[in-house]
Structure 1
Amino acid sequence: MRLMVYSHDTFGLGNIRRMLSICEYLLESIPDVSILLVSGSPMLHSFRIPAGLDYIKLPCINRGYSGNLSTKYLGTQVDETVKLRTDIILAATANFKPNLFLVDKKPYGLDRELKPTIDYIKRFLPHTKLVLLLRDILDCPEVTIEEWQKQEYYTAIQWFYDKVLVVGTPEVFDFCQEYKCPPTVASKIQQCGYIRKKFKENPNDILHKLALEPQEKLVLVTPGGGEDGYQLVNTYLSGLALLPATHHIKSVVIAGPEMPQFHKQALYQIAEQYSHVQICEFTEQLSVYMKRANVVICMGGYNTLCEVISLNKKAIVVPRIYPVAEQYIRAERMANLGLVKMIHPHSLTSENLMRSVFRELDNTQECQPPSIDLNALPRISQCIEMLLYNQVVDSKQYLTKETQWLTTTILKSVIY
């Protein structure tokens, strides 16, 4: 079975981390699957790639904090770079001939770069299944509805896609209702629950390096990819001056590989003043630190909050509010459900943040197990396996009919 995956990546690490988690689970749960991933993520090479998965790295397109697209590395215009990406994706599809194409986030891809590929699939690979994967929240409803109508995404789903899988639950955000999906679109949508984070790592080496004393508490600070995480990390490091001299707190800061270099240098200089602070740019072992942490300070990204909830951790969330409201909506809804604590970025000060940290550290009451659906991965796997099975059946029926037609044609030519 051949599965092709398109990961939409213009900002941070969220999309590629989520898609790699899904790919790994599919490889473990569906026999004889080969996966080809296409992505522009500049950090793709830094992740462990499981057996059965290979990837094609697309030229990077960046969506900065302003929301505008730009070419990240090449000295080419955006339209030239999108054209190059479009041609690469189409050529890969034509040669790989996937049984199923899993598309992340946008039905037509970034700047409609998937449109030629979708047209090719419908014309030359008619039995290939098309599946759209969406996170729980895209943006505030009014913005998303306007964009989806303008870009004809509802129509694309109606005509081209076999299934839409949403990794979220109606208890947090009812996708069909909030985004006013037409009945023809809503009938294809399945809200699968959130993605439960798997923890395979052996934490002994990392925890040994931390050298935590029995009485010490650990605070983990992670702004995700870090491109817009400077304010959060700087506010926390500045707040360390408020700690009493006899405190028993150690801090691990993961600044994020996408954080601008001058911001990282400034934070590293501040962190050097504190022997109880460890700071680094990136780690694949984030879950190890999170598992040991007494409090997590983070932004409101999908993957980070899934990890927090999976580990049942006390978390203080300072969500991004621009250029899209996705993180703010998610953090607010989850805070209302008692899953996390939230500080609005406009209210973020060192005093407010450290007050919340002290409150959470002093709270000895154990977190209640999360009352939220975390079974997205098995549901995604079940759906894709069924679609793959149906694709094989359809293909065999098609080939049988084609064979019968060829046999009849040959017999007629012999007879006459």
Structure 2
Amino acid sequence: MRVRGQLKILIYSQDGYGLGHLRRNVNIIHQLKKIYPSATVLIIVDSPVAPFFELPPQCDFIKIPTMVKVDYGVWQSNCLEMDCASLLSVRSELIQEIVLNYRPHIFLVDHMPQGALGELVDPIRMLKKYCPDTRLVLGLRDILGAPDAIRQVWTNEQAFEIAESNYDKILIYGTADVYDSLSEYAFPQALQAKSVYCGYVTRAEIPSSFMNEGMRCLLPDGRKPFVLVTGGGGKDAGAMMAAFVQAVAQFEGELPFDGMISTGPFLPEDQLRELQAQARKLGLKIADLGEDAIHFIARADLVVSMAGYNTISELLFLRKNALIVPRRGPSAEQTMRTQILARRGLFDWVHPDELSGEVMRQKISERLNHRTVPDDRDYPSLDGAIVAAREMLGLLD
């Protein structure tokens, strides 16, 4: 495909409550811009916090109404008083208008080949009709969920057929030695032939400055070990954070570490107020660190976190001592990722059904005092962003 004029890349990044897809795509965008500085990138997002992400020059967001997943195949409006079918129609028509007016050379679709509840089916059909040279790329994280469940969902939603007939390349943001998703999810041979394991997608470096300089004063002074608790967007992190507060209350005398909770933008308000009250009593810091969380993760002697893709990737990138508490559901993704990487000795973990203040206290003490440093050979490839960028641009040759 020959590019006439400016290279235009379009990305579909469906997040709803979370931040995972958006953070991953932003990391890929940074690598795309390093290789092809004049490219323009437009990202279709529905996360309400997307505009707070910092993008390279000539990149922008376009926001569609937010829709959140509550279970496999079950979605609902987050803000508007609209039934799912009506909201889906609005979103699909907006996406179609964006696609046909922007006319991208590359369209990267994240996670779902047909989009949420099939909202990309019509836009892709129109794209194929009016922009036949556009290259379609599907990006998939390392683990989608339990194999039986994912195979069933993809079969029911005709995702295998849609991916095979419409997409030029499939990028898997993981490694086969960690999880062989092509085999586990029984991808047909035709899909396997155009699939590439990229490695885990993470940032290339720690930013040299804070996005919000006011956060810098919250960094610990280094006189004690630093324990950071982070739950990504925070929507389902309340139980883990509450267990940490309970654990801190069980230490006798002076706390042997400096503790901090990074709440995230989606932590429910009632849980936030309760955590703030408890944190004040116990001398813990608590804040929504936003994009500056990476500076605190880098400084931490122990990170207590959930097992979302981007948090795990950053912990791997920084080789951090970590205690992981995966979320219960609706997908088995986080538990599977945690178990696989824990078997490599990269993290310790607690099953959410076994989580308590006492268990958390014991685990924190063990990880601070008796950590075994993993061998570098146990870490998976973290070149996912640059490999993904090269694979996408390679479709233009």
TM bin, normalised by shorter chain, reads over 0.9
Q: Structure 2 counterpart of 1:84, which letter?
A: V
The whole-number CA distance in structure 2 between the counterparts of 1:208 and 1:381 is 32
1:200 aligns with 2:229: no
1:247 aligns with 2:271: no
1:122 aligns with 2:99: no
Which of 61, 69, 79 matches 2:85?
79
**Range 51-60 or range 240-249, more displaced:** 240-249
Q: Structure 2 counterpart of 1:14, which letter?
A: G
1:187 aligns with 2:193: yes
**Alpha carbons of structure 1 residues 202 and 146: separation in structure 2 relative to 1, 3 Å:** same
**Range 160-169 or range 346-355, more displaced:** 346-355
Residue by residue over 1:270-300, the C-alpha shift from the partner in whole angstroms, topping out at 9 and shown as x without a partner, is 111122x111134211110000000000011
1:101 aligns with 2:107: yes
The whole-number CA distance in structure 1 between the counterparts of 2:31 and 2:120 is 25
1:147-158 → structure 2 map (5 Å cutoff): 147-158=153-164
Aligned residues of 2:45 and 2:61 also touching (Cα < 8 A):
yes
Equivalent position SS for 1:45: helix
Structure 1-normalised TM-score? 0.89
The whole-number CA distance in structure 1 between the counterparts of 2:118 and 2:72 is 20
Q: Structure 1 counterpart of 2:244, which letter?
A: Y
- Which protein has the larger Cα radius of gyration, Structure 1 or Structure 2? 1
1:124-273 → structure 2 map (5 Å cutoff): 124-197=130-203, 198-202=205-209, 209-210=217-218, 212-273=220-281
Residue 247 of structure 1 and its aligned partner are, at CA, apart by 3.1
Unaligned runs of 5+ in 1: 390-416
The whole-number CA distance in structure 2 between the counterparts of 1:194 and 1:111 is 27
The whole-number CA distance in structure 1 between the counterparts of 2:135 and 2:98 is 16
- Partner residue in 2 for 1:377: 385
The whole-number CA distance in structure 1 between the counterparts of 2:333 and 2:129 is 36
Equivalent position SS for 1:284: helix
The whole-number CA distance in structure 2 between the counterparts of 1:371 and 1:281 is 29
- Partner residue in 1 for 2:304: 297
Structure 2-normalised TM-score? 0.94
- Partner residue in 2 for 1:32: 38
The whole-number CA distance in structure 2 between the counterparts of 1:21 and 1:110 is 22
The whole-number CA distance in structure 1 between the counterparts of 2:18 and 2:343 is 26
The whole-number CA distance in structure 1 between the counterparts of 2:60 and 2:218 is 34
1:355 aligns with 2:362: yes
Residue 9 of structure 1 and its aligned partner are, at CA, apart by 1.4
Question: Deviating runs (4+, > 6 A) in structure 1?
Answer: 203-207
Unaligned runs of 5+ in 2: 1-6
Residue by residue over 1:21-71, the C-alpha shift from the partner in whole angstroms, topping out at 9 and shown as x without a partner, is 111221122232100110101110121122121111000112247973111
**Range 316-325 or range 210-219, more displaced:** 210-219
1:337 aligns with 2:347: no
The whole-number CA distance in structure 2 between the counterparts of 1:233 and 1:65 is 23
The whole-number CA distance in structure 2 between the counterparts of 1:340 and 1:365 is 10
**Range 158-167 or range 28-37, more displaced:** 28-37
**Alpha carbons of structure 1 residues 208 and 115: separation in structure 2 relative to 1, 3 Å:** closer
The whole-number CA distance in structure 2 between the counterparts of 1:299 and 1:271 is 20
State percent identity of aligned pairs.
Answer: 29
1:311-322 → structure 2 map (5 Å cutoff): 311-322=318-329
Aligned residues of 1:30 and 1:381 also touching (Cα < 8 A):
no
The whole-number CA distance in structure 2 between the counterparts of 1:111 and 1:354 is 42
Q: Over aligned residues, Cα RMSD in angstroms? A: 1.8
Aligned residues of 2:316 and 2:379 also touching (Cα < 8 A):
no
Aligned residues of 1:295 and 1:313 also touching (Cα < 8 A):
yes
**Alpha carbons of structure 1 residues 352 and 76: separation in structure 2 relative to 1, 3 Å:** same
Residue 155 of structure 1 and its aligned partner are, at CA, apart by 0.7
Q: Structure 2 counterpart of 1:234, which letter?
A: A
Residue 11 of structure 1 and its aligned partner are, at CA, apart by 3.2
Residue 177 of structure 1 and its aligned partner are, at CA, apart by 0.8
The whole-number CA distance in structure 2 between the counterparts of 1:29 and 1:23 is 10
Q: Which has the higher contact order (CA 8 A, sep 6+)?
A: 2
1:284 aligns with 2:291: yes
